[in-house]
Amino acid sequence: MSLAHIAQAADHQQIGWLGGGTLSVLLDAATTGGQLTVVRSQLPAGSASPLHLHRREDEMFVLLKGRGLFHVGDEVHEVGEGGAVFLPRDVPHAYRFLTEDVDFLTLCTPSGIEGFFRAAGHDLAEPAPPGGWQITLQDLAAAAVAGGQEILGPPPPLPDHLAG
């Protein structure tokens, strides 16, 4: 049995992420006894994940602010504020956000995905690497292999009706 964990916003690890966004690790394996990871992401418009799948965990998203596309297998779904997405492990998926100031929660069971975020991202409590810092597809791929994920390809393109 895990112990209760209480933390304030200032206690959460902040990780630099795709497109200059920020991830806040709210709960991880250490705080939930390996049961759950919760990450809050604040990303700019156009932020997109590569097409990928998870082998170890189920993943859920709750969109707190903004609107985005979720590619799930061969389907594309537009999800708006208050929407939720459940992605069982082994289902290829990707996201692309369409509005400014996107804010969402990612919940994963069991925990462990935070290792991927920490390996690919940049802990904002540490000095930035020299010469500027940006996540590359190679960074994501290396962290994914270590974390039981597979990068299947780049972010899918926008559907024709949105590509304008």
The domain of 147 spans 26-154
Residue 81 lies in a domain: yes
Rounded to the nearest 5°, which phi and psi values hold at 45? -55, 145
Q: How many other C-beta atoms lie within 10 A of the C-beta of residue 110?
A: 15
Residue 30 lies in a domain: yes
| Cα–Cα distance for residue pair 108/105, rounded to 1 Å | 10
Residue 78 lies in a domain: yes
pLDDT value of position 26 = 98
pLDDT value of position 164 = 59
Tell whether omega for the bond before 92 is within 30 degrees of 0, i.e. cis: no
Q: Residues for the chain: how many in total? A: 164
Residue 10 lies in a domain: no
| Cα–Cα distance for residue pair 35/62, rounded to 1 Å | 18
pTM, rounded to two decimals: 0.91
Kindly report the CATH number assigned to the domain that includes residue 138. 2.60.120.10
Contact between 122 and 133 under an 8 Å Cβ cutoff? The reply is: yes
45, 92, 32, 97: CA torsion to nearest 10: 10
pLDDT value of position 137 = 79
Task: Report how many domains make up the chain.
Answer: 1
Residue 88 lies in a domain: yes
Residue 17 lies in a domain: no
Residue-wise pLDDT for 129-156, tens only, equals 777 778 887 888 889 988 889 999 989 9
Residue-wise pLDDT for 7-55, tens only, equals 999 999 999 998 889 999 999 999 999 999 999 999 998 899 999 999 9
Q: Is the pLDDT of residue 161 over 90?
A: no
Residue 8 lies in a domain: no
Residue 136 lies in a domain: yes
pLDDT value of position 163 = 66
| Cα–Cα distance for residue pair 134/106, rounded to 1 Å | 21
pLDDT value of position 103 = 97
